[in-house]
Homo-oligomer: A and B are copies of this chain.
Amino acid sequence: MHLLNSFGPNPRTLRIYLLEKGLDIPMTDIDIIGGENREADYLAKNPGGAMPTLALDDGTYLAETIAICEYLEECHPQPPLLGNTPEERAKTRMWIRRTELNIGEHMYHAFRYSDGYALFEKRVYCIPHAADDLKRKAQDGLAWLDTLIAGRDYIAGDRFSLADIPLFTVLDFMKDAGQPLDRGLANIAAWFDRVGARPAVQASVHPQAAELGWIG
């Protein structure tokens, strides 16, 4: 196995996952700022142009961060980052989807249509006049989540899980890219600090982050 890695929240999600699991996979960096992920060679491996991509031993490629994590979890069940039982794993998947569809996706789209527009205008179909509303929808999603996680330490319950990682990486990126973290959401803020203090999270920042001013 071999990982095509880069700057950005999704590759960082995978790096955190690998560090938490104690897995070591060789990595090659793709220059996403220069658009290497939109060129023919990369698109032949991952036609979505998204990062990261895992090259499997059978010569095929696996894309989509959560699908990659689920694959690695099947191959390396310990320590479990989805859960110990079908019910725990189901709840983790439920929270991944809830946070992604109600918060993360709105933030990513809003970023591409506004603060990241110069990078994305020729790469994806942009809707700049929806950016402010999408930021608002993401904040509404966070306010909703803030009430739901009251009294527990992590997104999917009292155990750290894969549900904590993609939400953390998108919030940590966006807080410096036009979508600041609202510290008035006390449960979210405490959770964000709790996750951010983990050694794996601290070790996962990409070297380009300092140069670009965005955490990835």
Contact = CB atoms under 8 A, between A and B. Distances in A.
A64 B125 contact: no
Interface string A90-115: 11011001100110010000000000
**Central interface residue in A67, A89, A101, A140, by most chain B CB within 10 Å:** A67
Contact of A74 (B86, B94, B129): B86
Given A105-B105, A125-B133, A125-B137, A71 B86 contact: yes
A97 B50 CA distance: 12
A55 interface: no
Interface in A109-141: 125, 127, 129-130, 133-134, 136-137, 140
B67 A90 contact: yes
A66 interface: yes
Contacts of A144: 47
12 contacts: A56-B87, A60-B91, A62-B87, A64-B97, A71-B86, A74-B86, A125-B133, A125-B136, A127-B130, A127-B133, A127-B134, A129-B129
